[in-house]
Amino acid sequence: MAIDRYQLANELATLRDLAAERWSEDPLPVGRAALDRLKREIDEHDLHRNVAELETDGYTVLPPGKAGPLSLIEEIKAAMRRLQETRPSDALGASSGLGATLFHMLPEDPAFEQALMAPAPLVLVTYLLGYRAKLSQCTGLIKDTGAPALPIHADHSGKFPAPWGKLSNYTVVTWVLTDYTRENGALCVWPGSHRWGRPVPAEMRMAHDHEEMRVVEVPAGSVIAWHGSLWHGAVPRSADGERMTLVLPHVRDPIQAQEHFWASTTPEMIARNPPRFATLMGLTSAYGWMQDGPDPRRLAMGPTEGSQFE
Ligand SMILES: O=C(O)CCC(=O)C(=O)O
């Protein structure tokens, strides 16, 4: 059965019209205005230390309660458990080091929208990727006892040719849903490695015990964000029970998102979220037209080359 391209273009145009209406309530800034608004938001959410850590270490941690209430953590976990019962979650196989994977969870429960729109992590996304950042994945990871180490890698690998420039083009926001400890199979990072702008060499991929690697031991409810060039992985899980994580990678506007969020966004989702939600879904991006061609309104919503924060 072929997709009806005229119907698809019409449905997409309807969603984009709604996105444009919401945009007009709070147009995303360009140039100096982008920098000024970002500074205000960093002040408002008291994120100066986190922004400094993104520069020096390439990652930062928001403590429990800063990104969202602990009740939201419980809602996210419950939604993931429901999905795990109804969906295959072994697409990548147990040996991948990612555990059971639940892809494209966003349209399945409003708790994921709340995590995506949580103001403090979103300021960190803006700092790394600009106001026009799009969501690239909404993925759940569930690791049980015996889950192997996740090899050390940088998220820019396999996406952008190296050497990488200093800007992040892909940034992960990770919601830690169960305590991260070494035994629980926590994330591990090589602080400062994002400044090298190069992939992890093959001989370092299993160097989880290297003296420069830091195991990120943080309690449930923490949120971790990192630069796309940061070398990171996860240590194996030896403890009983499960490690649960919500992973929200984002990309800069002209970069292809990994999941088709425009295809699963509903008018209700656009209506119940702040205007920026539609931008995160890719619905205000200039590109991705069909036979209707480029829309001058969406071209006008793009950056002006004035600032990396646009
Ligand atoms: O939490 C993990 O196991 C690591 C996830 C990861 O490497 C990533 O999201 O890029």
pLDDT the model gives residue 96: 85
pLDDT in tens, 38-55: 999 999 999 999 999 999
Are 176 and 221 contacting, i.e. CB atoms less than 8 angstroms apart?
A: yes
Q: Give how far Cα 126 sits from Cα of 88, 99, 146, 310, Å.
A: 33, 29, 36, 8
Indicate the domain borders of the chain.
Answer: 52-264
User: Which of 141, 156, 243 has the most ligand 1 atoms within 8 A of CB, as the residue to mutate?
Assistant: 141
Q: What percent of the chain has pLDDT over 70?
A: 100
* Nearest ligand 1 atom, CA 234: 3
* Nearest ligand 1 atom, CA 98: 3
In short, whether 235's Cβ falls inside 6 Å of ligand 1 is no
User: Which of 144, 243, 245, 259 has the most ligand 1 atoms within 8 A of CB, as the residue to mutate?
Assistant: 245
Q: Give how far Cα 209 sits from Cα of 48, 74, 130, 153, 278, Å.
A: 31, 32, 34, 14, 42
Average pLDDT, the chain: 96
In short, whether 147's Cβ falls inside 6 Å of ligand 1 is no
- Residue 89: pLDDT band (50, 70, 90) is confident
- Residue 91: pLDDT band (50, 70, 90) is confident
d(CA 282, CA 284): 6
Closest listed residue to residue 228, CA positions, set 115, 131, 133: 133
Beta-bridged to residue 172, according to DSSP, are 226, 249
Determine if the pTM surpasses 0.85.
Answer: yes
What class does CATH assign to 52-264? mainly beta
Q: Tell me: pLDDT of 301 over 80.
A: yes
Are 54 and 123 contacting, i.e. CB atoms less than 8 angstroms apart?
A: no
Q: Tell me: pLDDT of 97 over 90.
A: no
Strand, coil or helix: 214: strand
